[in-house]
């Protein structure tokens, strides 16, 4: 029963609805229901992450391949956070740059601590953390 679809009515200002329809159209949604459900889930993920609950995610880092110090520091940090790292993929972007994609799953605070530690390493050019639902 918990996954049964339930219809409900929503009242919005006309201008807000017009902007919402334009927004979700540009995002590729063909109807409002899926768009609204996704927005709700996005807020739930943000809330779970903020409260330190279980999340999944991906950390991406781009760094200078020639700096052995960066490579070693990034590896040390990953070994220190082994409990929340599911896998790591290394891509040789070009002659100078490496891209690493680290899949993580764990408490929000630990995921954030890992992402913060990686991005603050000298020599890391750019880093992102994408947080998503752990599936529950
Ligand atoms: Ni590489």
What does the pLDDT profile of the chain (136 residues) look like in tens digits? Answer: 578 999 999 999 999 999 999 999 999 999 999 999 999 999 999 999 999 899 999 999 999 989 889 999 999 999 999 899 999 999 999 999 999 999 999 999 999 999 999 999 999 999 999 999 988 7
Question: Do residues 115 and 59 touch, judged by C-beta distance below 8 A?
Answer: yes
Question: Do residues 67 and 100 touch, judged by C-beta distance below 8 A?
Answer: no
Fold entry, domain 54-133: Alpha-Beta Plaits (3.30.70)
- Give the pLDDT score at 96: 94
Give distance in angstroms: CA of 72 to centre of ligand 1: 13
Asked whether the whole model's pTM tops 0.85, one would answer no
Comparing CA positions, the residue from 101, 92, 102 lying closest to residue 66 is 92
- Give the pLDDT score at 2: 76
- Give the pLDDT score at 1: 59
Give distance in angstroms: CA of 88 to centre of ligand 1: 12
Question: H/E element holding 73?
Answer: helix 68-80
Give distance in angstroms: CA of 50 to centre of ligand 1: 33
Question: H/E element holding 45?
Answer: helix 32-50
Sequence-ordered list of residues with C-beta below 8 angstroms from that of 101, at least 6 positions apart, any chain: 58, 59, 60, 88, 89, 91
Give distance in angstroms: CA of 118 to centre of ligand 1: 16
Burial class (CB in 10 A: 0-12, 13-18, 19+), 82: exposed
């Amino acid at each position: 029963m918990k996954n049964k679809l339930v219809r409900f009515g929503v009242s919005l200002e006309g201008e807000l609805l017009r902007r919402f329809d334009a927004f979700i159209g540009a995002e590729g949604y063909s109807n409002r229901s899926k768009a609204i459900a996704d927005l709700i889930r996005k807020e739930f993920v943000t809330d779970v992450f903020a409260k330190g609950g279980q999340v999944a995610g991906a950390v991406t880092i781009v760094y200078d391949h020639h700096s052995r110090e960066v490579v070693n520091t990034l590896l040390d940090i990953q070994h220190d956070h082994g409990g929340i790292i599911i896998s790591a993929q290394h891509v040789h972007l070009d002659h100078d740059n490496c891209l690493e994609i680290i899949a993580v799953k764990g408490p929000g605070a630990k995921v954030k601590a890992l992402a913060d530690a990686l991005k603050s390493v000298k020599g890391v050019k750019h880093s992102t953390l994408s947080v998503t639902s752990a599936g529950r």
